[in-house]
Every structure is written in C-alpha cells, then in structure tokens.
A and B are shown apart, each in its own frame.
Chain A
Amino acid sequence: MLTEATPGQRSALPVVLVSMPFMAPHHPSIQLGLLKSLAARCGFPSRTLHANLDFAVRIGMESYELLWQHRGAMVGDWLFSLEAFPGTAPDPQARMIEDLACGLSYLGASPDEMREKLLRIRTIDVPTYLDELVSTFPWEEVAVVGFSSTFQQNAASFALARRLKQRHPRIVTVFGGANFDDEMGPELVRTVDCIDVAVIGEGDETFPRLLNALAAGTDLDAVPGLARRLDGHVKLTPLTSATVQLDDLPAPDYEEYFQHAEDLGILPRVGHRNVWLPIETARGCWWGAKHHCTFCGLNGTTMSFRPKSPGRVLDELTSQARRYRSFRFEAVDNIMDMAYLTKLLPVLVENETGYEIFYEVKASLKREQLRLMAQAGVTSIQPGIESLSSNVLRLMRKGVRAIQNVNLLRWAHYYDMDVGWNLLWGFPGETEQDYTEQATAIPHLLHLQPPSSTNRIWLERFSPLFNERDTFPLRHRTPERSYRYVYPDDVDLERIAYFFDYDLEDGLPDSTYAGIRGAAADWSNAWRVDRPPVLKYWSAPHFIQIYDERQHGQGGTYTFEDTLADLYLACSNRPTTAAAVRRELDLCLPVEAVQEVFEEFQKRGLMFLDGQFALALALPAVKAR
C-alpha cells in the first residue's frame, strides 16, 4: 500500500531532471519536459537542466553535431567513459581510435587530427565540463536528480552522477529512458554504483510514485517498475503493463531549455522562434503491434498503440505554440494515427493554422491523404520506406510494396513535403536479383527525393531479427564492437547493448550491394545541384507531354495522344493494373496489349512496374492540386 506524501513532504523534495550529452541540441528534451510537468503536477519542486547544451558549446557545435547524430561506434560514450568508470574504464590508452578508425571517418578529419581532437575532448573538455557543472549549479538544494538516457547518454550521465554522489551523498540518483528498458536497466543498476534507482519501462506513473515514496519515506517495494541494489543484489519490483492514457498526461514544460539555449547563444533571442517543438501524439506502433518489422527495435517492450485524442492534440498544439512562440512541431510518435486523417488534419485545414509538422508515417499513404497532410501543415515526413524491392519489403514485414513506396515519394514531392528515408539491405532471404533490380530502377527515380542514407541493417535489441533466432538464424551475434571500449569488464555487454554485430546464416556478400550503393550515390549527387532532376507532365484530355530531364543537361519531351495518353494518365494517381485500366477506359485492346504498352513506358523510364502493378513516374507540372 502506497502512503501518500503530505504537501509539505513533497515541497521538501526538490527534483532536477538532467539531459546529458549526446542529446540533440536544437530542440528540448520531451522526456525531461514531460517528467518535469508530471513532477510539478504532483507538487514536487522540479526543474530541468539541459546540460547537453553546455557541452555542445564547449566542444563546438560542429563537433557536437557529428557526435550526437552518429548511430555507429559509441564514440560519445567512450569520451565520457574515463569519468564514468574511473579506474575501471577499459580503454585509458585510447586504443579505440586506431582499432575502429574506419568507423570514425564520419568525424571528417585526418587520422592525426581526429586522434588529437578526440583526446583533447576526452582528457580536457570532459573533466572541465563536469567540474563546472558540479560547481556552478546549486546541487546542495536538490534531493533527487533524474537522468533520462537514450542512445549515447549513458556514460556522460554516469560521470555526472558519480561526481554528484561524491560531493552530495544524500542526493538520490534516478535513471530511466530507453537505455534502461527490459534487462538493460537491472544490469546497469548491478554494475554502476552511482545509480540509486532505475525506472524500467515507461516512467509517467512510476516516476511520480517513486518521488512520492521518497518524500513520504516509505518502502520503494510498493512502487512498480523499479530496479535498485539491495543486499548485494538487484531488486526489481514487478512491472505494470503500459496503461497510461496519453490524454491524462500534461504538456511538456520546455521553459528552461529556451532560457538556457538563449543564454548560451545556441538560439537567438527573437520574438518568433523557429524551433521544432517535440510533441507526442501517440505511443507505440499500430503496424508493429500486428506485424513487427523484422529490423525494428523501437518501442522496446511497449508496442501497443495509444494515441491522444484529436481534441487533445489540437489543444496542445495551440498552447505549446503560444507558450514557446514556435509553430513547428516534431511528432516523436513512431507512426501517425490514421484516424487523424479524418479527425485531426481536416480541423487544422479548416482552422487555417500555420503549423509545420513532422510525422513518421506508413508508406502506404495515398495521394489525397498526402494532399490533406500538406494542407494541414505536415511539411516533413519519415515514411519508413527502407527498400524499393517488394520481395525485400515482404521479408522485412513492411506491409507495403515497392510501388507504393515510389508513389509516396512522388506525391510527397509534388506536395512539397520533405521525405526522410533510408535504403537498407542485409535481410535474411533476400536475393542478388532484389538488388540488381533496384539498381536498374533507381535511374528512373532521380526526380524523386533520394534516400538520406544507405546501409546494411543494424541488429537492434527487441527487433524480431534479434528475438526470433529460429526464424532468423545468425552465425554469430555479439554486442557492437565499440561497447567493449566503454564499459568495464564486469558489465555484461550482452545485457546492456542495444546494437549488435552479426552474420546471417544465408547472408549475401557485401559485393552484392555495390550496384545499389553506387546508384543511390548517383541519386544523391543528382540532388546536390541548383536544378534537381525533373520528370513532369502537362495534360489535356487524351493528350500528354512529358518533359524528362532526369539526367542533367539531357532534356527531352515525350508526346502521347489518345490511347497512349489515356493509359499513362490512368496510372498516375496510384498503382493500378492493366486489367483495371482497360476496364476503366473501356478499351477494346486486350489486357496483354495494355501490359505491353506499360512495358514500353517502363523501358523509357516513364513507368515503374512491380508485379502486375504499374505506376506512372512523371508528376504534374502544374503545382499543386
């Protein structure tokens, strides 16, 4: 039974929530903002501290950007490992710089410059930063320090917690976030002694209950979802299923972020801010709950989909825009609720709001849905395209065909939406043909937005590739190599790693992907010019002209009349089949002849064919209807 703390006890438990490097510097942490609001709602004096900003300023924004954006070797954690694990850090001699040199090329310096730079940050900037952080903040007034840790925030958080515990032993350190989900949290609690308590799983209910127990001085055993050391062992209180209703959560409090970022000169002090405000309109993944994409480790143990009501989202957009003077919103959702297409976005259109919104979406969106989104202010999307091969998409359980991905790229481009997407390979069961076909098709797609990155898939904890060993046999699986340069020997890396190195039983050699890698590079290069590639059409009844300048300086025009024009235009809005087009146009031509025409269009790079489906590739020249 949980004893409620009195208001006096609560007000005597000041809480600071900290975001350490390497969290993104250009927007506030929604984790901190939400926990701050939750703590404040329960009567606890609370504030946030975006300490990541101080470090970004110290080492220079350019270097910080490279480090926080990187999702490969754990360089960020490595930089803080000496301070996180003094005396037991595994790499005081900085062997990682040489051992993983090929994985550090993203830092963009010569090997000597890179070594010097990393060593300077590790041995000078990091300790100085931590000293200043401990000495300039009134920690003596603080009872609880909460750390939210995702990706490479562990070591920096441990480093600060260690110093705080040394100087202010009565401070209770609480850790949580994605890095503490499932078995990762208990293992870190077991091996990192500056962690007093860890919240395992979602913290919306657990964190306020933990604060209540600390304020009331009651046993933490009554708080579900906690891990802590007790008598030399890790004690884990039973987890509760994620049942929090998102409408019940307060709006995140970003006040301190803006104050701090403006004080440090990261953001200008201006009347109108152009900052992407994180907003959570849903948690979990409705697609993943039905068909978990084989490579995806997001959502950890909480896949069930829980959206906010449209009314609540509208209210939050309004109140956050007014409060922080920015109209840009980055939805942190893993996937947009399809119900918003009928219940939220039309209201935004009707209200003529001036928001710019980013959403992750399913790639099967249709033209009219993308048009609505654009009208509602969704200017940027991440559709999870991942491949232009229907066979590979089937293997990854994506639930879309390549032709739907292409159609999404088309209409998103037409409606001026920025599309962030990746081209991935390395899936069990894929064939060489899957990649030769993609490499052949890519030159026809140059007028569409190219992938942001191309790579072999990572093996992530919680993904089906990780969990379903029988379905996806691996020759070997070990924690990603750089973890061993960060964590001491007594940390079981198998239990704390999120990324893993692996070899598939039936994996294709790297040479298989040379063609698609080269085609994708050409695609990206084609967009690094003032005048990106073009494939557009003008049409009148039974007449179409298509202007093709996908190859720079090699423009030309196709003119089609009557049946040919009708056939092409019938495949423009969405993927369709020869039989359906024949019916729609009431043609006398046999289906085989229609299919033959589609193949002729494909030969000219004017159509994308995928099984029995066909899609015109050109976009209307007239914007945007």
Chain B
Amino acid sequence: MANLEFSRQEIVNLTRRVSNVDPPLSERETTLLLAIFAAAADRATPVGLGGGATLPGFEIRNPPAAARTEREMTLSDLQQQLLNAYIPGSNPDPVIPYKVVGVPVGWPPPPPPPPPENGD
C-alpha cells in the first residue's frame, strides 16, 4: 500500500471524534491511544509547509464484522444527512431493451472438442 498522507487538520478532527466517543473511553484506552499516536508521530515524515506528513503504508487485518456501530452518527449528523437526502428527478420504471432472437437449433451447443493432450 502507498504511504498515507495526512494533514494537521485531520489530526485535529480525529482527536475531536475520539473525545466524543460515547460511551467515553476508559483512562487506559485513552492512554493506549495516545501512545499509538506518539509512536506514529515518530514515524511520520513532514512534507511541505502546510503541516502535512506521511506515514508508511499499513494494512488492516481482520476488520471487525460489525462495522455498523462505527458508522453510527450523532443526531446532528443525521439531520445533516436528512437535509441532503433528496434528489429530484423522475425515475420511470425502465423499459429494458432486449430482443428474443430464438433458440438456435440444436441448443445447447455441443461441447467443445477436448483440448489436445500433452504429447499428442
């Protein structure tokens, strides 16, 4: 996987999201997370002047089966989605163009000849 490039703002956003996890993280979970961030920061390579950085590529192994809870949103998220949910435009039941051309005589076709055996 390619290196991961990220900005300072993304770190700020992530920190905010983590602080809003409900139920809140335990003290140990918070400490563990900060340690992971610190270790990651050691490996980050700053790029440019915008406060961005890159991390070496990584791979997520065994993602959790019930990913839904991670996607659960706050009420304000839901309200935002509701506001943007509607797209006008008629969607008449499509008429699928197709043509029946009939079944060829002898259908199904005869099986193809066997491939030549090695050595023939």
Contacts and interface: CB of A to CB of B under 8 A. Distances in A.
> A and B from one assembly?
yes
Contacts of A589: 72, 74-75, 78
B68 A542 contact: yes
Interface string A260-297: 00000000000000000000000000000000000000
B87 A557 contact: yes
A603 to B, nearest CB: 9
A192 to B, nearest CB: 60
B73 interface: yes
Nearest to B77: A563
Interface stretch (B43-51, B56-64, B88-96): B88-96
B16 interface: no
A559 to B, nearest CB: 6
A531 B69 CA distance: 40
Nearest to B85: A558
A284 B64 CA distance: 58
Given A587-B72, A588-B72, A564 B81 contact: yes
B75 A558 contact: no
Given A555-B90, A557-B87, A600 B82 contact: yes
B75 A596 contact: yes
B107 interface: no
Given A562-B73, A564-B81, A588 B87 contact: no
Interface string A545-579: 00101000111111111111010000000000000
B30 to A, nearest CB: 18
Interface residues of A, number: 27
A600 B84 CA distance: 12
B105 to A, nearest CB: 35
Contact of B86 (A558, A561, A586): A558
B79 interface: yes
B72 A562 contact: yes
Contacts of B85: 558-560, 564
A604 interface: yes
B86 A563 contact: no
Contacts of A558: 85-87
Nearest to B81: A564
Contact of B75 (A560, A562, A593): A593
A549 B68 contact: no
B10 interface: no
A554 B77 CA distance: 27
**Could you tell me the dominant secondary structure of chain B's interface residues?**
mixed
B91 A564 contact: no
Interface residues of B, number: 22
A597 interface: yes
B42 interface: no
Given A557-B91, A600-B79, A562 B68 contact: yes
Given A555-B90, A557-B87, A562 B79 contact: no
A601 B85 CA distance: 11
Interface in A46-95: none
Contacts of B99: none
Given A559-B85, A596-B75, A549 B90 contact: yes
A536 to B, nearest CB: 10
Contact of A563 (B71, B87, B91, B92): B71
B22 interface: yes
Contacts of B90: 549, 553-556
Nearest to A553: B90
B87 A564 contact: no
Nearest to B70: A562
Contacts of B23: 588
Contact of A566 (B68, B81, B86): B68
A588 B22 contact: yes
A557 B75 contact: no
B78 A597 contact: yes
A45 B86 CA distance: 72
Contact of B78 (A557, A563, A586): A563
A105 B78 CA distance: 53
A564 B73 CA distance: 9
Among A561, A566, A600, A601, the one with the most B-chain Cβ atoms within 10 Å of its Cβ is A600
B82 to A, nearest CB: 5
Contacts of A597: 75, 78, 82
B81 A561 contact: yes
Contacts of A600: 78-79, 82
Contacts of B69: 586, 588
A547 B90 CA distance: 9
A416 to B, nearest CB: 16
A563 B88 contact: no
Among A553, A556, A566, A596, the one with the most B-chain Cβ atoms within 10 Å of its Cβ is A556
B64 to A, nearest CB: 14
A620 to B, nearest CB: 15
B72 to A, nearest CB: 5
B83 to A, nearest CB: 9
A558 B72 CA distance: 19
Given A597-B78, A600-B79, A563 B89 contact: no
Interface in A301-339: none
B78 to A, nearest CB: 6
Nearest to B76: A593
Nearest to B82: A600
B88 A556 contact: yes
Contacts of A562: 68, 71-73
B78 A564 contact: yes
Contact of B73 (A554, A556, A563, A604): A563
A561 B85 CA distance: 9
Interface in B2-54: 22-23
A555 B90 CA distance: 4
Contacts of A531: 92
Contact of B89 (A555, A561, A564, A588): A555
B63 to A, nearest CB: 15
A23 B68 CA distance: 61
A557 B68 contact: no
A559 B83 CA distance: 11
Contact of A556 (B22, B79, B89): B89
A549 B78 CA distance: 24
Question: Nearest 10 CB-CB pairs, A to B?
Answer: A555-B90, A562-B71, A556-B88, A593-B75, A558-B85, A600-B82, A563-B73, A563-B72, A588-B22, A557-B87
Given A564-B78, A564-B85, A604-B82, 16 more contacts: A549-B91, A555-B89, A557-B89, A559-B85, A559-B87, A560-B81, A562-B73, A563-B78, A564-B73, A564-B81, A586-B69, A588-B22, A588-B23, A589-B72, A597-B75, A600-B82
5 contacts: A553-B90, A558-B86, A559-B87, A562-B73, A600-B79
Interface of B: 22-23, 68-69, 71-75, 77-79, 81-82, 85-92
